[in-house]
Structure 1
Amino acid sequence: MTEQHTVVVIGGGQAGLSISWHLVQRGIDHVVLERDSIAHEWRDSRWDSFTLVTPNWQCTLPGYSYSGGDPDGFMNREQTYQFVRGYADTFDPPVREGVTVVSVRQSGSGGFDVDTTEGPMRADHVVVAVGGYHTPVVPRFAERLPAGITQMHSSQYRSAGDLPAGEVMVVGNGQSGAQIAEDLHLAGRTVHLVTGGAPRVARFYRGRDCVAWLHDMGTYDVSIADHPGGLGKRENTNHYVTGRDGGRDIDLRAFALAGMRLYGRLLDVVDGTLRFAPTLESSLDAADAVSQSIKDSIDAYIAREGIDAPREERYVPVWRPGREVTELELSTSGITSVVWSIGFRTDYRWLRAGVFDGEGHPTHNRGVTAVPGLYFLGLPWQHTWGSGRFAGVARDAEYLADRIELEAGVLPATATLA
C-alpha cells in the first residue's frame, strides 16, 4: 500500500518544523519524516560547552519565539535543543520519528515517489529540510597520521576530558574550530591551531552586540541576488565569535600570547611530518580586516542615522607571528589528538532529481528548484545571510508555504492508494 500526501517534508529540525507550522495553519495535508528524533542534531552533534552565537532575542520561529529571562544571552546546547523541541509541542506537527527516507524520485504520473523504511509514499510536493551539512570532511592524508594519534571530526568532539592526555591539534578556525580550540585552551590543554581563511567579527562594538547593529542595518535581509558576492557567498565560512560566558570576541592573537600555537594552512603529512603553508600572518590580517570593515559599516550607520552611541577605540593586534612554522615533526611535538574542523560535504544521493550543480549542491531560487514541486529549506544563504538563523528559516518557510498553497491549494486529507 502506498501512502498519499500532498506534501512530504524530510527533516524534523527547525526548518522542517517551520514549514509544517505554516502547512498546519493553511490546512494542507502533509507529513514530516525524521530519521532520528525531533531536533536531535542540537543535542547529538554539539560539544558540551556549545552556545549559539546569535543572541536569544533573535531566536524566533513561526508562531514561536524565545520567552526566557535573558534575551541578550546565548542559549547553550541543551537550551537550544529544548527550544526547538518545545516548539514542536506548541502545535503538534505530524512528525514521524525514526523514519529514514531511502529515495525520492519523480513519478511518471506527476509528483514524487518517496521510499521510506516505513514503506512507500507518494507526494505532490517534497520539501527537503535536512540542511546542507551531511558528511564530515576529513582529508585523505589523515590516513598518513601515526596510528597512535586519536582523530575525530568536530561533530564528534564533546569535551577536552574525552581526549587522551597530551597536546591537541585543531585543524580549521571557522566557528566550530575556533570555539573548540578555545574550549581546549580553557581546559588547560596545549592547543595547536591550524588556521585557514575564516573571517572574524567583534562580539560587541559601540555599546551593543554587533548582531544587533547588523540586524537594525538590514544586513541579514539583503538577498543573495543583490549581494556583491552573489551565489559565491553560499560557500563562505562563517565569522568566528562566541556566545560563551555572555559572549566575547575570539582573538587568535591573544590565544597565541597565552601559549596556543598557530600555523598556516595544513598541506600534507609526509613520513610523520606535518607541512604547512606560510599563510598564518595573512590569515590573521584578513580576519581582522573583515572585523574592521564591519565596524566601519556600523560607524557609517550610526553617523547616517544620528544615533548617540559611545565611541570605541579600534582593535590593535596584540601579537604577530615571527618566522612561520612550515614543518612539524609529530613524534616530538607532544600532539596525541587531532580534531578536524574543516566542514562537511552534502550527500543527496537518495534524491534522484536533476537539481544539483557539479559539486553536489542544490540549485534553486529561494529554495524553489527547476523541478516542479521540489523545494529546499534550511540551507545556508538560501535567500539571505539570515537564512542560517532561526528567524531567517522562519521567513524562508513562509515563502515556500505560500508557493505550495498557490500551486496545490488545500487538497483532501491523507488517502491510501493501492
Structure 2
Amino acid sequence: MTLTPAVVVIGGGQAGLSLASCLRQRRIEPLVLERHRIAHAWQHQRWDSFCLVTPNWQCRLPGFPYDGDDPHGFMGREAIVAYLQRFAERAAVPVREGVSVERLQSSGDGYRLLTSAGVIEAEQVVIATGAYHRPRRHPLAERLPATVLQLDARDYRRPDQLPVGPVLVVGSGQSGCQIAEDLALAGRRVHLSVGSAPRSPRRYRGRDVVEWLERMGVYDTPIDAHEDPRAVRHKTNHYLTGRDGGREIDLRQRAREGMVLHGRLEGISPTGLSFAANLAANLEAADAVYRRIRGSIDAWIADQGLAAPIDPPYEPCWSPPPDGSGSRLELAEEPLAAVIWCTGYRADFSWVEVPVFDGGGEPVHQRGVTQAPGLYFIGLPWLHTWGSGRFCGVGGDADHLAQVIQRRQLRRDGSQETLECTALLGS
C-alpha cells in the first residue's frame, strides 16, 4: 500500500512525539512510525532500578509538564514510560506502532520510505530515532572465554540476572557507574574499568545542581557558542544518580567499600584482562570537573548577590596507589561471571540513502535542518543545546522544526500571503 502523507516522523520516543504534537498545534497531521511501541527504549533497554538523573520538574514536553506529585524526585523506568504514554494520549498523536522503516530515499521533490507495511511517499520527513543504535565493545571482546557472559548496558536488568561470581563493568559514564553501584548494593563483587567520564555534584549550596545550572542558562546555551562544537557533541555525560532520592556517585567511596577500580581497559586475552596505568589520573580528572561545577555555581551566586548556605570544600576519601604499571585481572585467580559493556553506542543511519552525512556517518545539520530540502533530525545529543537530548529541551527543538516544516509546506502550497501572516503572528 502506498500512502502520501505530507509529513512523516520516524520514531515514537519523546522527540518524535514532541514534534508531532507541535505540528498538530499548527494543524499539520503527521504520520508517526514506530518500529516497536511508544517508549520502547525506556521500557526494554533500561535496567530495573533505572531512574532519571535530572529532577522530575525538568520534564516538560510540549504542553505537558511533569504531572506527578514529586517534582523534586526522579522518575523510575515505569513512571517514565507512563509519562510518555500519557503525553501521546493528551496530544492525540497518531502513531503506527510495529512499522519499521527499512530504507529512506529521495523521490522527486519529496521522499520514499520503504517500510515493513509498504511504500510511503512523503513531502517532508523527520528522523527521530536518536543516535544510540549499536553498542560499542572493546575490539578484542571475542577473546574472552565463552564461560564469561557478555552483556551490553541496554541488556542488563538486575543483579540476579547474572551468574554467580565477580562482574566486570567496563566504562564509567552514567550507565557504567549506576550499573556498578546496582551490583555492589546487591552484594556482588564488582570490578569497574574507569575511563575519562566526568562527575557532578548532586546537591550544592542548598539546591540540586540541576536547578543551579538551569538558572545559569547552561542547558539553553547553543552549541555554536562553544569553541569546538564537534568535540562537545562527543563528550560523555557527568555521572551521578537519581537513585535513593538523588545523590552523588563517588567511586572513591565505593572503592573503600570494596569495589575494585581499574584504569581504562587495554587488552584482553583468554587468560586475563589488562588495564592502563591511569586510574589515579582519571579519578582526579573527574574530581576536577566536580570542583569546576561547584566553582561556577559559587561565581554565579556571588555575581547575582544571592544568599545561599556554604558547603565545605570537597576532599577525596580514598586514593589509589600512584599510577605505575597498571593492573591486571587474572581469570584463573578470579574467574569472571560476566562483563557488562558500558562503552557507549554508535549511530547507524545506513538505511538513509540521502547524502546528508559527514565522513563519520553523522548527520550534518543546523538545529536539525539538513541540506536536503524537507529532511530533518530531532532528538540527537546537542542538536542545538545541552538540553536537546533531554526532556527539558526537546520541546524547544520540536517547536523550531515545526515552524520550519510549516513554512516549507506553505511555500509548496503557494500560500505566500498566509505564510507572511503566520510569520507576523509569531506562529
> Shift of the alpha carbon at 1:229?
3.6
Q: Quote the sequence identity (%).
A: 52
**3-state SS in 2 of match to 1:105:** strand
> Shift of the alpha carbon at 1:132?
0.5
User: Which deviates more, 224-233 or 15-24?
Assistant: 224-233
Q: Do residues 51 (structure 1) and 68 (structure 2) align?
A: no
Mapped to 1, the partners of 2:127 and 2:46 lie a distance apart of: 22
The one-letter code of the counterpart of 2:137 is V
Mapped to 1, the partners of 2:188 and 2:328 lie a distance apart of: 21
Q: Do residues 70 (structure 1) and 62 (structure 2) align?
A: no
Q: 1:22-33 residue pairs with structure 2 within 5 A?
A: 22-33=22-33
Residue 73 of structure 2 contacts residue 245 of structure 2 at CA under 8 Å; is this kept in 1?
yes
Residue 26 of structure 1 contacts residue 410 of structure 1 at CA under 8 Å; is this kept in 2?
no
> Shift of the alpha carbon at 1:326?
2.4
The one-letter code of the counterpart of 1:193 is L
Mapped to 1, the partners of 2:314 and 2:335 lie a distance apart of: 33
> Shift of the alpha carbon at 1:319?
0.7
Task: Give the structure 2 partner of residue 327 of structure 1.
Answer: 328
Mapped to 2, the partners of 1:81 and 1:215 lie a distance apart of: 24
Q: Do residues 86 (structure 1) and 86 (structure 2) align?
A: yes
> Shift of the alpha carbon at 1:137?
1.2
> Shift of the alpha carbon at 1:411?
8.3
**3-state SS in 2 of match to 1:357:** coil
Residue 29 of structure 1 contacts residue 411 of structure 1 at CA under 8 Å; is this kept in 2?
no
The one-letter code of the counterpart of 2:24 is V
> Shift of the alpha carbon at 1:230?
2.0
Task: Give the structure 2 partner of residue 14 of structure 1.
Answer: 14
Deviations 1:184-206 (A, max 9, x none): 00000010000111000000000
> Shift of the alpha carbon at 1:180?
0.2
Task: Give the structure 1 partner of residue 386 of structure 2.
Answer: 385
Deviations 1:265-286 (A, max 9, x none): 1011124221111010110000
Mapped to 2, the partners of 1:364 and 1:293 lie a distance apart of: 31
The one-letter code of the counterpart of 1:331 is A
Mapped to 2, the partners of 1:372 and 1:160 lie a distance apart of: 48
Residue 51 of structure 2 contacts residue 76 of structure 2 at CA under 8 Å; is this kept in 1?
yes
> Shift of the alpha carbon at 1:257?
0.4
- Cα pair distance change 1:294/1:228, threshold 3 Å: farther
Mapped to 2, the partners of 1:6 and 1:314 lie a distance apart of: 57
Task: Give the structure 1 partner of residue 351 of structure 2.
Answer: 350
Q: 1:12-411 residue pairs with structure 2 within 5 A?
A: 12-107=12-107, 109-322=108-321, 325-409=326-410
The one-letter code of the counterpart of 2:216 is M
User: Which deviates more, 220-229 or 44-53?
Assistant: 220-229
**3-state SS in 2 of match to 1:115:** strand
Mapped to 2, the partners of 1:388 and 1:279 lie a distance apart of: 31
Mapped to 1, the partners of 2:5 and 2:356 lie a distance apart of: 22
> Shift of the alpha carbon at 1:323?
5.3
**3-state SS in 1 of match to 2:254:** helix
Deviations 1:319-378 (A, max 9, x none): 111155422211212421100000111111110111111221111110111111110000
**3-state SS in 2 of match to 1:275:** strand
Tell me the matched-pair count: 411
TM-score normalised by structure 2 residue count? 0.94
**3-state SS in 1 of match to 2:340:** strand
Mapped to 2, the partners of 1:225 and 1:258 lie a distance apart of: 43
Residue 153 of structure 1 contacts residue 340 of structure 1 at CA under 8 Å; is this kept in 2?
yes
Deviations 1:277-305 (A, max 9, x none): 10101100000000110111100010000
> Shift of the alpha carbon at 1:69?
1.1
Deviations 1:3-61 (A, max 9, x none): 10111100001001000001111111320000100111111000000000010000010
**3-state SS in 2 of match to 1:269:** strand
**3-state SS in 1 of match to 2:372:** coil
The one-letter code of the counterpart of 2:71 is P
Mapped to 1, the partners of 2:160 and 2:42 lie a distance apart of: 21
Residue 6 of structure 1 contacts residue 411 of structure 1 at CA under 8 Å; is this kept in 2?
no
User: Which deviates more, 132-141 or 180-189?
Assistant: 132-141
Mapped to 2, the partners of 1:236 and 1:152 lie a distance apart of: 23
Residue 17 of structure 2 contacts residue 93 of structure 2 at CA under 8 Å; is this kept in 1?
yes
The one-letter code of the counterpart of 1:38 is I
Mapped to 2, the partners of 1:364 and 1:158 lie a distance apart of: 35
Residue 280 of structure 2 contacts residue 322 of structure 2 at CA under 8 Å; is this kept in 1?
no
The one-letter code of the counterpart of 2:349 is Y
User: Which deviates more, 32-41 or 354-363?
Assistant: 354-363
Structure 1 spans left out of the alignment, 5+ residues: 413-418
Deviations 1:245-276 (A, max 9, x none): 10000000000000000011101112422111
Mapped to 1, the partners of 2:52 and 2:151 lie a distance apart of: 22
Mapped to 1, the partners of 2:32 and 2:131 lie a distance apart of: 18
Higher RCO (C-alpha 8 Å, min separation 6): 1
**3-state SS in 2 of match to 1:152:** strand
Task: Give the structure 1 partner of residue 419 of structure 2.
Answer: none
Residue 7 of structure 2 contacts residue 29 of structure 2 at CA under 8 Å; is this kept in 1?
yes
**3-state SS in 2 of match to 1:103:** strand
Mapped to 2, the partners of 1:270 and 1:38 lie a distance apart of: 41
**3-state SS in 2 of match to 1:331:** coil
> Shift of the alpha carbon at 1:410?
9.3
Structure 2 spans left out of the alignment, 5+ residues: 414-427
TM-score normalised by structure 1 residue count? 0.96
